[in-house]
Amino acid sequence: MIRFRSLRVRMVVFLVALLGIVQAAEFLLTNDASYSAARNKIEDEFSVGQRVFARVLQQNSERLSQAASVLASDFAFREAIATGDTGTLLSALENQGARINAKAVLYVDLKGQVIADTLRPDIPPHAFEFPELIARARTGSVASTTDLLHGQAYQLIAVPVKAPVTIGWIVVCFPLDLALAQDLRQLTGLDVSFANEQQGRWNIFATTLPAAVADTLRTGLPDYADALDTRVLQLPEGQQQMRLVPLADDAHVAAVLQRPIASAMASFRTLRATLVVLGFLSLAISIAGSVLIALSITRPIELLLAAVKRIRRGDYSEEISVPREDEIGALAQGMEHMRTGIAEREQQILKLAYEDPLTQLPNRSQFALELEQGITQARTRGRSLAIMVMDLDRFKYVNDSLGHGVGDHVLREVGSRLRLMQGDIGCVARLGGDEFALLVHESDVAAVIGVAHRIIKALEVPIIYDGQPLDVGTSIGIAMFPAHGDKSETLVRNADIAMYVAKRTRSGCAVYEKNYDTSQQEHLSLLGELRHAVEHDELRLHYQPKVDLHSATVGACEALLRWNHPRRGVVPPAAFIPFAEHTGYIKVLSRWVLEEAVRQLGAWRREGLLLQVSVNLSARDLLNRELPETIAAILAQHQVPASALCLEITESGFMEDPTHALRVLERLAEIGLQLSIDDYGTGYSSLSYLMKLPAKELKIDRSFVSHVSGDADLRTIVSSTIEMGHRLGMKVVAEGVEDSESYALLRELGCDTAQGYYMSPPLPPEAFQAWLEGRLPTAEPISVARWDRSPCAPSPDAAQQQTARDRTG
């Protein structure tokens, strides 16, 4: 079976087949109906012809009878018959016969004897051949019959001759001849043949048929009895409609009426031909119509199919438009909605994929693409390109303390500020968290730094949230293409490294340098080494004395972490503390420091050395709720009273999460631990927080102290800070005391404790103890000479070490 895959072909084939069947059926039915109608019609026509024939023949007979009657009543004729001799009689008969076109006229007397016969004038009187005709004429006045006379078919009419009573009859003979046949044919529309059958052989006297047809008719006719019943006669010329009309039954004389069926059916054939033509015409029109309908259905479907293919390829550009009112139009409309919907959603997906929903800035992926593009462009144009990576200082604090809503607000605000600067910048993206990246189409490093500073400046303006100003700074790392890498990943990573450097150095922005990378690498490897250090006892605590300025005695010291790396030697805290904080390893480190410090404290106490030891805590430690319990356990383990341990915390450490931190600090204070505020004056120095903290000690940052003797402003700050500390009920410690002037000045200003290289650098426990023993047990004023004996004189990198130490806080 043939299968049509195409809907169009299927529809066309179906419709054409259907229409063909309908047309064929219609044609067959019509043909059949019109055929039988035509047959009935020609039958009817024939019957009418037959009736007309009979009527005409009768009328003809009546006409002839009348004519004969008129003739017979002619007086002179009657006189001639009644009184004349045979010759006169014959001539009169001939004369009268000629008047009415009779073929022959006979005179029959009352005895039935033929007295005169115009056909055979010389024959003697003899009995008339058709006495029955005379008998009928006797009773009526006129009688007629058709019969054979002398081998010829005649219509015989007997009329009485009255003188004035009947004296005899004239018999007028009209032959059934061609003229009569033609007359009848003209009136009936049928061919007329006068014929006589004798012993199965037909003789035709006269016929309207052509001679050849007459001949076939003569031989084709069945014998008389059968012919009477024949309706259709098969002749070599074709089928004939036929009737045999008996004229003289006894003599087998009849008229054959006939008509070729073909000619009778001619009008039907014309009709059928018209039907065929019309059928084919309407079939053709129907096929054309169905093809058009099929096309009108399938063409829009093909259009829709094409549109679907386009959409599948991801091409949403072309509108799907099939302007129709019907279902296909509705389908097209639906697909058009679908197309725009899909396009919109894809746009949204793309947006989600490449845009940060919070700031509406490009996201990391988009930035990577832009960067790749920028790199390609810069490479082909032989130009440089700068990328910046920045994050927000103190963002975590804002986010954690004020909530994510505020954090989001800050990010949005930063995003919009950066967007405002887009004129200078190729692309601004949010990489995630508080990290942003910028692409700067600028070759000049100085100019790039200029852009970075403008950004810093723009972010220095406080962000207002709920009427409250939020101060968010930023650190920016810069990497240049191609100087700092020719791949996007490398560039981003290097800018990231530079950003950490900038953050660490608080310089605002930093351009990537090769050695940053290595130090960063070191950081990475440090984690493992740091673990190793903790586990293999590479860490040490050094102690720096805190000298009581009032009594010039040492009652306390600060424990400072030192790492004696087996290969690198002494690693400064700045090189690993930030890293430890970053990785969370600071927790382990702080615990180690606390344990070691408390252990040392316990050891000293057992020796009778009653000192207070200060330990620096990281901001992270303050978020550890278990810290108080941990410390309490350590103290208990080493049988050290809480008051012997002082915890130094920085403001910034506290402010990362003040609520948490404050709770932990209060708990620590409850235990009896001393709390000290470290590096006071460098951070926010929020007085409200200062008030809240349960601290008993305030350490002025060394940046104020180290040069206090030579700077009046510094002296004012230090002086007022001391004043303030005292007013708040805290002892004030000055660290970074490096000369006698400062020492003297601080004492003069009422500072309670001093710490610094002027007195002693941080020392290992044994050296510290020795230093103490050199100083102690007497509490005498400190003399410079005693300092010179110090085993550890200040070294050139001491300052750096001091700076680094700050970061351990």
The CB-of-166 to another protein minimum distance in angstroms stands at 9
Closest distance to another protein from the beta carbon of 118 (Å): 21
- Indicate the residue among 78 and 324 with the shorter CB distance to another protein: 78
802 three-state secondary structure: helix
Can you read off the two tokens belonging to residue 796?
Answer: 């050139």
Tokens of 673: 């631990």
**φ/ψ (deg, to 5) at 357:** -65, -25
651 to 419, 673, 701: CA distances (angstroms): 33, 18, 12
Min CB(172)–another protein separation in Å: 19
- Where does this chain touch another protein (CB under 8 A) — which range of 19-27, 163-171, 257-265, 718-726? 163-171
Distances in whole angstroms, Cα of residue 176 to Cα of each of 70, 206, 256: 22, 7, 12
Cβ proximity to another protein, 69 vs 803, nearer residue: 69
Least Å from the CB of residue 102 to another protein: 22
Candidates 15, 52, 100, 167; binder of another protein (CB under 8 A) is 167
Minimum distance from residue 168 beta carbon to another protein (Å): 12
Shortest reach from residue 93's CB to another protein, in Å: 16
Select 82 or 330, whichever has its Cβ closest to another protein. 82
Phi, psi of 764 (to 5 degrees): -60, 160
CB of 205 to another protein, least distance (A): 36
- Compare residues 73 and 624 and give the one whose CB is closer to another protein: 73
CA separation (Å) from 4 to 13, 27, 251?
9, 29, 76
Q: How far is the CB of 261 from another protein (least distance, A)?
A: 53
The secondary structure of residue 453, as a DSSP letter, is: H
Interaction of residue 136 with another protein, rule CB under 8 A: no
Which residues have CB under 8 Å from 681's CB, separation 6+?
700, 701, 703, 704, 717, 721
Radius of gyration of the chain measured on its C-alpha atoms: 72
CB 618 within 8 A of CB 653: yes
Tell whether omega for the bond before 777 is within 30 degrees of 0, i.e. cis: yes
In whole angstroms, give the CA distance from residue 307 to residue 318: 8
- Cβ atoms 669, 628 nearer than 8 A: no
CB of 263 to another protein, least distance (A): 51
What's the number of CA atoms in the CB half-sphere (13 Å) around residue 136?
Answer: 12
- Residue from 124, 140, 151, 164 touching another protein (CB under 8 A): that is 164
Q: Which is nearer to another protein, 116 or 257 (CB)?
A: 116
Long-range own/partner contacts, residues 78-86 (CB < 8 A, 24 or more apart): 78/161, 78/162, 78/163, 79/163, 81/107, 81/161, 81/163, 81/167, 81/168, 81/170, 82/161, 82/163, 82/167, 86/115, 86/116
The residue among 83 and 219 lying less far from another protein, judged by its C-beta, is 83
Burial degree of 348 (CB within 10 A; 0-12, 13-18, 19+):
exposed
- Which range of residues in 159-167, 211-219, 457-465, 538-546 is near another protein by CB under 8 A? 159-167
Q: Least Å distance between CB 167 and another protein?
A: 8
> Is there a contact between 699 and 678 (Cβ–Cβ < 8 Å)?
yes
- Using CB under 8 A, pick the residue from 39, 162, 660, 692 that binds another protein: 162
Q: What x-and-dash track marks residues 18-57 binding another protein by CB under 8 A?
A: ----------------------------------------
Nearer to another protein, 132 or 318 (CB): 132
- The residue among 87 and 774 lying less far from another protein, judged by its C-beta, is 87
Which residues inside 101-120 make contact with another protein, applying CB under 8 A? Answer: 110-111
Residues in contact with another protein, counted by CB under 8 A, come to a total of: 13
* CB-nearer residue toward another protein: 75 or 626: 75
Tell which one of 1, 2, 165, 691 touches another protein (CB under 8 A): 165
Partner residues linked to 203 by β-bridges: 196
Which of these ranges, 119-127, 158-166, 325-333, 735-743, lies near another protein under the rule CB under 8 A? 158-166
Nearer to another protein by Cβ, of 161 and 256: the residue is 161
Distance CA 461, CA 471 (A): 7
Closest approach of another protein to the CB of residue 70, in Å:
12
State the nearest-atom distance from the C-beta of 73 to another protein, in Å.
Answer: 6
Q: Nearest approach, Cβ of 75 to another protein (angstroms)?
A: 5
Please, which of residues 50-89 interact with another protein by CB under 8 A? Answer: 73, 75, 78-79, 82-83
Nearer to another protein, 68 or 451 (CB): 68
Q: What is the number of other CB atoms lying within 10 angstroms of the CB of residue 281?
A: 10
Residue partners of 678: CB distance under 8 A and separation at least 6: 616, 648, 649, 650, 699, 809
Our finding on whether 163 is near another protein (CB under 8 A) is yes
**Of 110 and 228, CB closest to another protein:** 110
Q: Between β-strands 152-162 and 731-735, what pairing exists: parallel, antiparallel or unpaired? A: unpaired
Name, in order, each residue with C-beta under 8 angstroms of 93's C-beta and a sequence gap of 6 or more. Answer: 105, 106, 107, 116, 118, 170
Give the distance from CA 146 to its chain's centroid: 101
Residue placing its CB nearer to another protein in the complex, 132 or 346? 132
Q: How far is the CB of 125 from another protein (least distance, A)?
A: 16
Q: Toward another protein, which CB reaches closer, 91 or 401?
A: 91
d(CA 616, CA 558): 8
Chain residues binding another protein by CB under 8 A are: 73, 75, 78-79, 82-83, 110-111, 162-165, 167
